[in-house]
Structure 1
Amino acid sequence: FLLCSGIRRLSRGFCVWTLIALLTRCTKNIQIIEPGFVFVLGYLSYLTAEMLSLSAILSIVFCGMCCQKYINANMDEKSVTTVRYVMKVFANGSETIIFVFLGISAIDKTLWVWNTGFILLTLLFIFVYRIIGVFVLTWILNRFRLVPLEVIDQAIMSYGGLRGAVAYGLAMMLDENKIKEKNLMVCTTLIVVYFT
C-alpha cells in the first residue's frame, strides 16, 4: 500500500515535469514565456495532487527535482536566471510570512498552556530521536560512500534538521472538539520552534 501510494504521488510530479520539459523545448523563439511555464505548471503539479488527496508537497518536490536537472538545458540562460531569482524571492517571502505568523501567535495568551514536564520531555525526545536517526542513517550511508560524513557534519545535521513550521501547522489544525489539549500542543510546538 505504501509503495503504491508513493508511486501515485510521484507520478503527478513526473507527468507535470514531462509536460514542462516538452513545452520548454518548443519555446526557443518565445523565451519570455519559459519562466511562466515553470511556475504555472509546477503549481499545477501541487494543485492536481491536492485535488486527488495525495501528497502535494511530495509531488511538487519531485517535479522540482526533475525540472532542475533537465529543464535548464532546454531553457535560455536568461530564463534560468529569472526562475532562480524568482524562486529565491518566493522562498524568502514564504519564510518571512511563516516567522511573522509564529511571532504573532507567540503573543496570543490563549495559546500558552504551560506544562513544564511535557515540554521538557518533548524537547528531550525530539533531540534524542533526531540524533539517533541521523547517526544511525549516516553510519549506514558511510559504509557505501567514498567520502564519509564526519561526526561534526552529523551533529550539524542533527540540530539543523529540526524544523517546527510543519509541526506548528499540524498543531494548529487540530480539532479542539476532539483533542482538548490543543493549546498545550501549540504551546509545546512554539517552544520547539524557538529551541530549534
Structure 2
Amino acid sequence: MPGAMHFFHKFNIGSLKIGDYLALGAIFSATDSVCTLQVLNQDETPLLYSLVFGEGVVNDATSVVLFNAIQSFDLSHINTSTALQFIGNFLYLFAASTILGVVAGLLSAYVIKKLYFGRHSTDREVALMILMAYLSYILSELFYLSAILTVFFCGIVMSHYTWHNVTESSRVTTKHTFATLSFVAEIFIFLYVGMDALDIEKWRFVSDSPGKSIAVSSILLALVLVGRAAFVFPLSFLTNLTKKSPSDKISLKQQVTIWWAGLMRGSVSMALAYNQFTRSGHTDLRANAIMITSTITVVLFSTVVFGLMTKPLVRILLPSSKHIGSMISSEPSSPKSITVPLLSNGQDSEVSLGVQDSEANHGPVNIPRPTSLRMLLSSPSHTVHHYWRKFDNAFMRPVFGGRGFVPYVPGSPVEQNDHQWH
C-alpha cells in the first residue's frame, strides 16, 4: 500500500484517503478465473482444477466481506484498537455469513425431506429449492451480512443434501433451471460491464489528461501482477514442504497456471469500484473518476488480453495426454471400476477373480482406472475429508438426507442405482 500511495501522489490525481487505498486492495482481490477453468481438464489435473476453482469462488466472496468491513470503519486514525476491531468485524462477517448459508441450506434439506406438501411434486420441490436459496439472500441482507458468501455456502449445502432429497425429475429440472438463470445472469453482468466501459461522465473527467489515466491503470495492473506472484509462489512453496509424495506437490508449471488464473478481474471489481468511488453512480471528484476509469481499463484489458492468452498458455504449460483422455472416455460408469485400484493385498473380490481368469485365458487385461478425483471421493485417505465423511454418514445424512440416505422412490433409474450402491 505505501508503494501505491507514493505512485498516486506522484501523479497528483487528487485526494485519496487511506480507506480508498484499502478499498482498492479489496476491489482488485476479486479474481475471475472462468477462462482458465474452461481450459483446464478436471480429470487430468484434479488438484490444480480444485485449487483454481476454489480460489475463484471464494475470492469474490472474501473481497466483498473485506470491502464491507473497510467501509464500516473510520480509517482516518488507525491505531491498535481500530486494527483489532477491523479484524474482528471481518471475521464476524465471514463467520456469520457462512453459518447463515449453512443453516439455510440444512433447513431446505430438512423441509423437503420431512414435509409432505412438497414431496414428489416437481413444481413444489423446485419452487422450495429456489425460494429457500433466495431466503438465505434476504436474511443476509436483513442482518447486514455478505449475501454472496451466504448464498455460496447455501448452494454448497443444498447440492450436498437437498438436491438428493428430491425426485429425479426435480433434479433434472433444478439443474437446468439454475444453469439457465446463471447463464442469463452472466449475460447481464457482461452487458453492464460493457455499458460501464462507455460511461461518458467518468471519461470526460480524464479527457484532458489521458496519459495520467493510462499511467494509473498500468500501475494497478503491475500491482496485480506482482501481488499475485507474491501470494501464489510463496504459499505454494510452503504447501510443498508439507507434502511427502512428489505427485502431491504443486509443480512450477502448475504454480504459473494458478498465478495466471488469478490475473483476470471481472464484474465484482467493477461493482465494488462504483460503490466506493461514486454516489448512486455519479461523482464530481476527479480522483474518483480516474479510479473508475482505471478499474474499467484493468478489467477490460485483463479479460480480453489475458483471456485470449489463457488457452495457448495452458496448453504449453500443461499439454494434454491422449492416453489419459482415452482412458477417461472408456471408463465405465459402474461402481465396480472404482473398486479395482482400492483392493489391498490378499483380498479377493468379484472383480479381482474376473481379472485373474481373464489374464489366465487371454493374457494381461488393461482395466481402466478411475481418475484421481473419483478415487479421492470414493475412498478418501485419513485426512480431514475422511473424518468428515464418517461424521456426515453417521449424523448429518440420516437427519438431512443426501445420497444413499433418501427413501427409495420407484420409477427413478438414478435413485435406484443410488439405493443399490449406497
**TM-score band w.r.t. shorter chain:** 0.7 to 0.9
Q: Which residue of 1 aligns with 2:251?
A: 150
CA distance in 1, matches of 2:219, 2:233: 21
The 1:157–1:22 alpha-carbon spacing in structure 2 relative to 1, beyond 3 Å, is same
Preserved contact between residue 120 and residue 166 of structure 2 (Cα < 8 Å): no
Q: Which residue of 2 aligns with 1:43?
A: 134
Q: Residue 278 of structure 2 aligns to which amino acid in structure 1?
A: D
The 1:97–1:13 alpha-carbon spacing in structure 2 relative to 1, beyond 3 Å, is same
Q: Which residue of 2 aligns with 1:138?
A: 236
Q: Which residue of 2 aligns with 1:118?
A: 216
Q: Which residue of 2 aligns with 1:188?
A: 294
The 1:104–1:7 alpha-carbon spacing in structure 2 relative to 1, beyond 3 Å, is closer
1:74 aligns with 2:165: yes
Which one scores higher on RCO, CA 8 angstroms, separation ≥ 6?
2
Q: Which residue of 1 aligns with 2:155?
A: 64
Q: Which residue of 2 aligns with 1:168?
A: 270
Superposition RMSD in Å: 2.2
Preserved contact between residue 97 and residue 145 of structure 2 (Cα < 8 Å): yes
CA distance in 2, matches of 1:50, 1:30: 30
Preserved contact between residue 120 and residue 167 of structure 2 (Cα < 8 Å): no
Cα deviation 1:65-109 (Å, max 9, x = unaligned): 111112232122221222222222122211111111121222233
Residue 40 of structure 1, CA deviation: 1.0
Preserved contact between residue 16 and residue 41 of structure 1 (Cα < 8 Å): yes
Q: Which residue of 2 aligns with 1:101?
A: 192
User: Equivalent residue of 2:265, what SS?
Assistant: coil
Aligned partner of 2:123 among 32, 45, 65: 32
Q: Which residue of 1 aligns with 2:70?
A: none
CA distance in 2, matches of 1:79, 1:149: 40
**TM-score normalised by L of structure 2:** 0.43
The 1:193–1:45 alpha-carbon spacing in structure 2 relative to 1, beyond 3 Å, is same
Q: Which residue of 2 aligns with 1:21?
A: 109
How many residues were matched structurally?
A: 196
The 1:71–1:106 alpha-carbon spacing in structure 2 relative to 1, beyond 3 Å, is same
**Which stretch has the larger CA shift, 140-149 or 17-26?**
140-149
The structure where helix makes up a greater share of residues is 1
Q: Residue 22 of structure 1 aligns to which amino acid in structure 2?
A: Y
CA distance in 2, matches of 1:108, 1:3: 35
CA distance in 2, matches of 1:11, 1:40: 18
Residue 61 of structure 1, CA deviation: 0.7
Residue 121 of structure 1, CA deviation: 0.8
User: Equivalent residue of 1:135, what SS?
Assistant: helix
Q: Residue 13 of structure 1 aligns to which amino acid in structure 2?
A: G
Q: Residue 43 of structure 1 aligns to which amino acid in structure 2?
A: Y
Q: Residue 160 of structure 1 aligns to which amino acid in structure 2?
A: A
Preserved contact between residue 101 and residue 153 of structure 2 (Cα < 8 Å): yes
Residue 35 of structure 1, CA deviation: 1.6
The 1:70–1:136 alpha-carbon spacing in structure 2 relative to 1, beyond 3 Å, is farther
CA distance in 2, matches of 1:83, 1:181: 46
The 1:77–1:123 alpha-carbon spacing in structure 2 relative to 1, beyond 3 Å, is same
Cα deviation 1:85-141 (Å, max 9, x = unaligned): 222212221111111112122223332223222111110001111122122333333
The 1:84–1:154 alpha-carbon spacing in structure 2 relative to 1, beyond 3 Å, is farther
Identity of aligned pairs, percent? Answer: 26
Preserved contact between residue 164 and residue 192 of structure 1 (Cα < 8 Å): no
User: Equivalent residue of 1:111, what SS?
Assistant: helix
Kindly name which structure, 1 or 2, has the bigger radius of gyration based on alpha carbons. 2
**TM-score normalised by L of structure 1:** 0.88
Preserved contact between residue 171 and residue 182 of structure 1 (Cα < 8 Å): no
Residue 192 of structure 1, CA deviation: 1.1
